[in-house]
Amino acid sequence: MNLIDNLKWRYATKKYDNTKKVAAADVAKIVEAARLAPTSSGMQQFRVLVISNPELKEKIVPIASGQQIVADCSHLLVFAAWDKYTEERIDNIYQVTTTERGLKEGHFNDYTNRLKAVYLQQTAEENFVHTAKQAYIGLGLAIAAAAELKVDSTPMEGFNNAALDELLELGEQGLKSVLLLPIGYRDAENDWLVNMKKVRNAEAHFATYIQ
């Protein structure tokens, strides 16, 4: 099996078998794929919370418009992004990079000054539009990694972000929720979507090759 076959296999699972749990090693690989995502200016503006606690998952059902998949899944991944850019956040990440690469102190000063000139004059809302985009890249890679492991998943935007932020106390960490990704194993007998054809734009309509 290769990536393309596995992407054809996966679908936005609508019904999970709540008796089946994803092994910790596979959860870790899915999270690792998200961690390895490229991000704008390498700032790694998002984090992932991995929820397996049954009571907490149950509390998220009403926040997710009653979508039972957030409780029936094995693990619920919450992608959360920086609520805004700050001078400290930009400096911190470049300090880590400078240290880890053994570069001279101040190596990135010109670059971080340019980043600050762009982002610190924007509103927090404008900043969050940008940081949230980075979480989507992580989500895509996590979905692909799950498919490679034959773990089902469901990308989800359909939830009340503010209510989830409050429940998980994300504001205290300077984070706001962006996306949910339940992972687990399909309940094939009860999932209306499992046997439906995957529908995508025809290749000829999707890609334009300019030579």
What is the distance between the alpha carbons of residues 176 and 53, in angstroms, rounded to a whole number? Answer: 20
What is the distance between the alpha carbons of residues 45 and 135, in angstroms, rounded to a whole number? Answer: 8
3-state SS, residue 156:
strand
3-state SS, residue 161:
helix
Q: Which residues contact 129 (CB under 8 A, 6 or more apart)?
A: none
For residues 70 and 90, which CB has a smaller minimum distance to ligand FMN in the complex? 70
Please state the closest distance from residue 147 (CB atom) to ligand FMN, in A.
10
For residues 112 and 154, which CB has a smaller minimum distance to ligand FMN in the complex? 154
- DSSP letter at 16 equals B
Report strand pairing: 175-184 vs 152-153.
antiparallel
Please state the closest distance from residue 41 (CB atom) to ligand FMN, in A.
23
Give the binding range for ligand FMN (CB under 6 A) out of 10-18, 24-32, 108-116, 127-135.
Answer: 10-18
Which helix (H) or strand (E) is 79 found in, with range? strand 75-82
Fill in the per-residue mask, 31 to 70: x = in contact with ligand FMN (CB under 6 A), - = not in contact.
Answer: ------------------------------------x---
Give the binding range for ligand FMN (CB under 6 A) out of 6-14, 34-42, 102-110, 111-119.
Answer: 6-14
Fill in the per-residue mask, 131 to 160: x = in contact with ligand FMN (CB under 6 A), - = not in contact.
Answer: -----------------------xxxxx--
What is the distance between the alpha carbons of residues 176 and 124, in angstroms, rounded to a whole number? Answer: 11
Nearest residue relative to ligand FMN (C-beta): 158
Q: Which residues bind ligand FMN (CB under 6 A)?
A: 11-12, 14, 67, 154-158, 198
